[in-house]
Amino acid sequence: MTTFARLFFPYCLKLTSSPGEGSRYLVLNRSYQPVGLPRASGDHTQREAECAVTLKGHMLLREAGAKIDEESIYLFDDSTAPWGSPANWQRYASLLGILGQAEVTG
C-alpha cells in the first residue's frame, strides 16, 4: 500500500558521486524513489540525477542514530519507521531537524 509517508517522507540519502567533500546525494523515499516522484522501481534517470544535492553538515546524522554505509545514509529502517510508534516519530523528527539544517550547495 502506498501511503503519504512512504511517498513523501525521506527514507535515505543515496550517494550519487564519489564519497568525500562535495558528495552528491539523492533523497529517496521508502520505495527508493526520489521523494515526491511516484515511479516504479528501477534505475534513476537523468531527471532524477538532477535532483541530487550536495550537503554540508549532514554527517551529524550519524551521531543522532542514522545508519551510514558506503552508498547511503538511512534515516530509519523497518523497526524504526516513524509511523511505528511515538518514540520512532521523535527519533525521526530529530534526524529531520539535523537534515533540515544541512546546507544545500547544488
* Dihedral in degrees, nearest 10, Cα atoms 47, 55, 30, 80: 180
pLDDT tens-digit map of 3-46? 888 888 999 999 887 776 677 888 999 888 888 765 555 555 55
Average pLDDT, stretch 36-64? 68
| Confidence (pTM) | 0.80
- Rounded to an integer, what is the distance from CA 20 to the centroid of its chain? 17
% the chain with pLDDT above 70: 80
How sure is the predictor about 93, in pLDDT bands with cuts at 50, 70 and 90? very high
Can you give the pLDDT at residue 33? 85
Give the containing element (helix H, strand E) for 24.
strand 24-28
CB atoms within 10 A of CB 4: 8
